[in-house]
Chains A and B, each alone.
Chain A
């Protein structure tokens, strides 16, 4: 049974950075990409980027290039999403998703508030 657990809520000042973790269990961590998606209040879901834990390859949406860094720690079966130069518009729930097929399993979400 795939289980994905994210780190807790964060409150940050404008201009700061935030790092959200995503711990995976129930399957071999290095087998499947981990995707990051965010949902701002009143906005549609937005795909940010992904990392393949097996080889560390990443791909980012152009919108977040230069501000988004996705990393992983294979020994801890954990992926990380770091977003820098935060602004009020970055206030959102941030989700990670992974599994054998795209979007099959999601974390519980992490609320990041920029204020």
Chain B
């Protein structure tokens, strides 16, 4: 299975400051059709995961534009330009290029 490794595991950030999340895969996520099936999810305490980003850098409807993402191959990044209180939670990356789909272990964002 493809192993997804996220860092850091915990990210304390001051309100209004930026945050950056890293995700690395054990194999390239570039599919034969040219797509790279890497998504980012937010899971707030007590809630189901919510997709924020799909295919590396496409923001889902309703996701604030302070969220952005980039990357290619094996190395991906999610950024929040200015952290707000509602952003607290765990952020997961997920690959859907190789079966079975796999998730990173998550980065917990907390307010400093």
Contact = CB atoms under 8 A, between A and B. Distances in A.
A59 B99 CA distance: 9
A108 interface: yes
Interface in A62-115: 62-63, 95, 101-104, 106-109
Contacts of A10: none
B41 A46 contact: no
Chain B interface main SS type: loop
Contacts, number: 42
Chain A interface main SS type: loop
Given A102-B39, A102-B54, A103-B41, A45 B49 contact: yes
A28 interface: no
Given A102-B39, A103-B39, A61 B100 contact: yes
Interface of A: 44-47, 59, 61-63, 95, 101-104, 106-109
19 contacts: A44-B106, A45-B94, A46-B103, A47-B101, A47-B102, A59-B99, A61-B100, A62-B100, A63-B100, A95-B49, A102-B54, A103-B39, A103-B41, A103-B51, A103-B94, A103-B96, A104-B51, A104-B54, A106-B49
